[in-house]
A and B are shown apart, each in its own frame.
Chain A
Amino acid sequence: DGGITQSPKYLFRKEGQNVTLSCEQNLNHDAMYWYRQDPGQGLRLIYYSQIVNDFQKGDIAEGYSVSREKKESFPLTVTSAQKNPTAFYLCASSILYGNSYEQYFGPGTRLTVT
């Protein structure tokens, strides 16, 4: 089945540690995205990538880093510089061209930092 996978579903880390969240898609989509969601709020864009080896900062990129070495993969690293990393993280992908850019989302990773 085609789709987006994120792992793990739940992740616990100690403050001061970097942690990498996985995102893989087999939809052959060019664009991939990382969002953060806090309780009761909408999604906020962290980073997005339209092509391999290129990515752009979203609204809340500080304290995060990404890489896009393969079309299928867009891992997100939450660094110790992120002041409030506990959140629900969502990865998405979409096509780039045409008149419809619906984004397909993974199941999310819930990160808790103590």
Chain B
Amino acid sequence: DAKTTQPPSMDCAEGRAANLPCNHSTISGNEYVYWYRQIHSQGPQYIIHGLKNNETNEMASLIITEDRKSSTLILPHATLRDTAVYYCIVRAMDSNYQLIWGAGTKLIIKP
């Protein structure tokens, strides 16, 4: 079973910041938080990952709470092309490289 909980769907206005929450209250000390997204009928795309510090790249920012039990993915200026299902995944670096996928959050960007 997936070790994360995400809302099934969210809306965001185009040009605004999209904040996607993820609950991972049972996360272990050696587990990273990964975010992927899947645009309809395409393969998932890696977005960002982090352990305990906040991370930023050209696509998004990842904010992880101090107790590491939850995190938020931020898309700073959402566009219509950001409409997708966003998956939050936790995995240990010493695992057998498997990712356990939940159902994700369907993010709809509205004009």
The CA-CA distance from A96 to B95 in the complex, in Å, is 11
Check A63 for interface membership: any CB of B closer than 8 A: no
Interface size for B (C-beta < 8 A) is 20
The CA-CA distance from A35 to B43 in the complex, in Å, is 10
Count of chain A to chain B residue pairs whose CB atoms are closer than 8 Å in the complex: 52
B94–chain A nearest beta-carbon distance, Å: 11
Determine chain A's interface SS by DSSP, over half rule.
Answer: strand
The CA-CA distance from A41 to B106 in the complex, in Å, is 11
* Besides A31-B97, A101-B91, 17 other A-B contacts (C-beta < 8 A): A35-B101, A40-B103, A42-B101, A43-B101, A44-B101, A50-B97, A90-B43, A96-B97, A99-B93, A101-B97, A102-B34, A103-B99, A105-B45, A106-B43, A107-B42, A107-B43, A108-B41
**Which residues of B come within 8 Å of A, CB atoms?**
2, 34, 41-46, 49, 87, 91, 93, 96-99, 101-104
Q: List 13 A-B contacts (CB under 8 A).
A: A42-B102, A43-B44, A43-B101, A45-B98, A48-B97, A96-B97, A99-B93, A102-B34, A102-B46, A105-B43, A106-B43, A108-B41, A108-B42
